[in-house]
């Protein structure tokens, strides 16, 4: 059942295999991935590298469909790598790989254009599914990764102090870069009142200046 090289089915037909490049500074991981993928005729591991520089050089001349990219390379960090690779070869699908899942890094990598993210404890099935999905141009993020991302998001939008309507309004105006006096004029109230609101806002947001106030407000999409 698994020995048949040519098995066409209606939906998932498998033209030529997906060419994959593995980039990881840990040889053990490389071998592990190769083994896991060797069973599957839909995937062909083309070669591998253990650092960023060699990878980029290789990509000058050759191309692959999908890159399994470890986040922790010795020479160039993962976030930067994604940018450099896509700069060179915009069509390559990059699948981030990491043992741990640090939300900020994952977020940055997504921003830079990775198509998916896998933890290294992924099963063979997950691995193949992920490769196949990103090869088709879709995203793939493992359940655990999603959970971590969701956590970081919910943390972002959690404990947002409830602002009164007036406070929200004034916060928006502050964020627009308007001065206390301008706001006061606009709202037909005393500048001192605006000041008080600003202070209350800062207290509620637990910050000590308007800068942080606005940063938080913008980030939490309060305005």
Partner DNA sequence: ATTAATATACTGGAAAACCAGTAGAAAAAA
Partner DNA sequence: TTTTTTCTACTGGTTTTCCAGTATATTAAT
Interface residue list for a copy of itself (CB under 8 A): 11, 111, 113, 125, 128-129, 133, 136-143, 146, 150, 153, 174-177, 179, 207-212, 214-215, 218-219, 221
CB of 57 to a copy of itself, least distance (A): 26
Cα–Cα distance between 160 and 108 in angstroms, integer? Answer: 24
Stretch (H or E) spanning 94: strand 93-98
DSSP-based three-state secondary structure for 22: strand
Cα–Cα distance between 161 and 145 in angstroms, integer? Answer: 28
CB of 200 to DNA, least distance (A): 7
Cα torsion at 208, 210, 214, 220 (round to 10°)? 20
**Residue 167 in the binding site for DNA (CB under 7 A):** yes
Closer residue to DNA in complex, CB, 7/190: 190
- Helices 191-205 and 165-175 cross at an angle (nearest 10°) of 100
164 binds, among a copy of itself, DNA, none (CB under 5 to 8 A by kind): DNA
CB of 164 to DNA, least distance (A): 3
Residues that bind DNA (CB under 7 A): 162, 164-167, 179-181, 187, 189-190, 192-193, 195-199, 202, 208-211
């Amino acid at each position: 059942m698994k020995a048949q090289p040519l098995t066409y089915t209606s939906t998932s037909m498998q033209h030529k295999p997906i060419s994959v490049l593995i980039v990881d500074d840990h040889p053990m991981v490389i071998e592990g991935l190769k083994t896991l993928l060797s069973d599957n005729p839909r995937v062909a591991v083309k070669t591998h590298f253990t650092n960023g520089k060699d990878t980029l050089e290789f990509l000058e001349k050759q191309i692959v469909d999908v890159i399994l990219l470890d986040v922790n390379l010795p020479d160039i960090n993962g976030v930067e790598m994604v940018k450099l690779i896509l700069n060179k070869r915009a069509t390559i699908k990059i699948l981030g790989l990491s043992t741990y899942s640090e939300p900020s890094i994952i977020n940055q990598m997504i921003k830079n254009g990775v198509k998916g993210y896998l933890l290294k404890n992924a099963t063979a099935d997950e691995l193949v599914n992920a490769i196949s999905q990103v090869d088709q141009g879709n995203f793939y993020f493992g359940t655990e990764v999603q959970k971590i991302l969701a956590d970081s998001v919910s943390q972002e939008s959690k404990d947002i102090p409830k602002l009164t309507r007036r406070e929200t309004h004034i916060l928006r105006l502050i964020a627009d870069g308007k001065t206390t006096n301008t706001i006061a004029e606009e709202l037909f109230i005393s500048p001192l009142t605006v000041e008080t609101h600003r202070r209350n806002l800062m207290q509620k947001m637990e910050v000590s200046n308007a800068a942080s106030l606005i940063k938080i407000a913008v980030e939490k999409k309060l305005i």
